[in-house]
């Protein structure tokens, strides 16, 4: 389950990496994603049996809308060129939004796990480890590919985020 949740971080990391990212930022963003992958399911586990039905759907919809906005913004900026200000994933707000969007499904899974007698410490540590690892791999892969795509990397990354946003919603 931890690997499956980390796949979101991997896939979306490719989209962000396509925009171009420094190695130091890869490590910082991945560390924050790992932290979110620990905190979000932990919060979900504790909220577990109270709001499981409603929260799973609402959380998925919120993540989808957020990804649509981020992806649309990236595509818009790639078409406008240098004149449009881009969402800076290195900023605190940009990093928070990205980490939140890839970790919100961990909260939903945590809600479900809260109804069972899961080993909380092991569960959240595995979620954090694989969320961080998969985001590093995705960001690095996107970074590598962006070197070959040039200016089209940001548009492709935005399209990936847009597609995932639509998949989350529908």
pLDDT at 70: 73
Q: What does the mean pLDDT of the chain come to? A: 78
Q: 13 and 134 in contact (C-beta within 8 Å)?
A: yes
Q: Which residue pairs from 145-148 have beta carbons closer than 8 angstroms and sit at least 24 positions apart in sequence? A: 145/14, 145/17, 145/18, 146/17, 146/18, 146/19, 146/20
Interval 75-124: pLDDT, tens: 777 777 654 445 566 778 888 888 887 787 787 777 667 666 668 888 88
pLDDT at 93: 85
Q: What angle do CA 65, 101, 141 make, to 5 degrees?
A: 115
Q: Where are the alpha helices (H) located in the chain, listed in sequence order?
A: 2-18, 23-80, 92-113, 120-149, 152-169
pLDDT of residue 16 exceeding 70, the answer is: yes
pLDDT band of 129, cuts 50, 70, 90: very high
pLDDT at 131: 92
Q: 137 and 147 in contact (C-beta within 8 Å)?
A: no
Interval 47-77: pLDDT, tens: 765 655 555 666 667 767 777 887 787 777 7
pTM: 0.72
Q: Give whole-number Cα distances, 91 to 58, 59, 94, 96, in Å.
A: 27, 24, 5, 8
12 vs 57, higher pLDDT: 12
């Amino acid at each position: 389950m931890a690997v499956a949740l980390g796949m979101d971080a991997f896939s979306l990391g490719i989209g962000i990496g396509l925009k171009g990212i420094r190695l130091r930022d890869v490590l910082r963003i991945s560390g924050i994603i790992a932290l979110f992958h620990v905190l979000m399911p932990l919060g979900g586990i504790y909220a577990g049996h109270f709001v499981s039905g409603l929260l799973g759907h609402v959380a998925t919809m919120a993540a989808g809308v957020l990804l649509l906005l981020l992806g649309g913004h990236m595509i818009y900026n790639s078409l406008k060129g240098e004149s449009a200000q881009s969402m800076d994933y290195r900023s605190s707000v940009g990093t928070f939004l990205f980490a939140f969007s890839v970790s919100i499904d961990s909260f939903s899974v945590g809600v479900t796990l809260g109804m069972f007698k899961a080993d909380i410490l092991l569960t959240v540590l595995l979620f954090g480890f694989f969320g961080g690892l998969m985001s590093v791999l995705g960001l690095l892969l996107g970074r590598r590919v962006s070197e070959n795509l040039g200016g089209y990397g940001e548009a492709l990354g935005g399209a990936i985020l847009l597609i995932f946003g639509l998949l989350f919603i529908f």
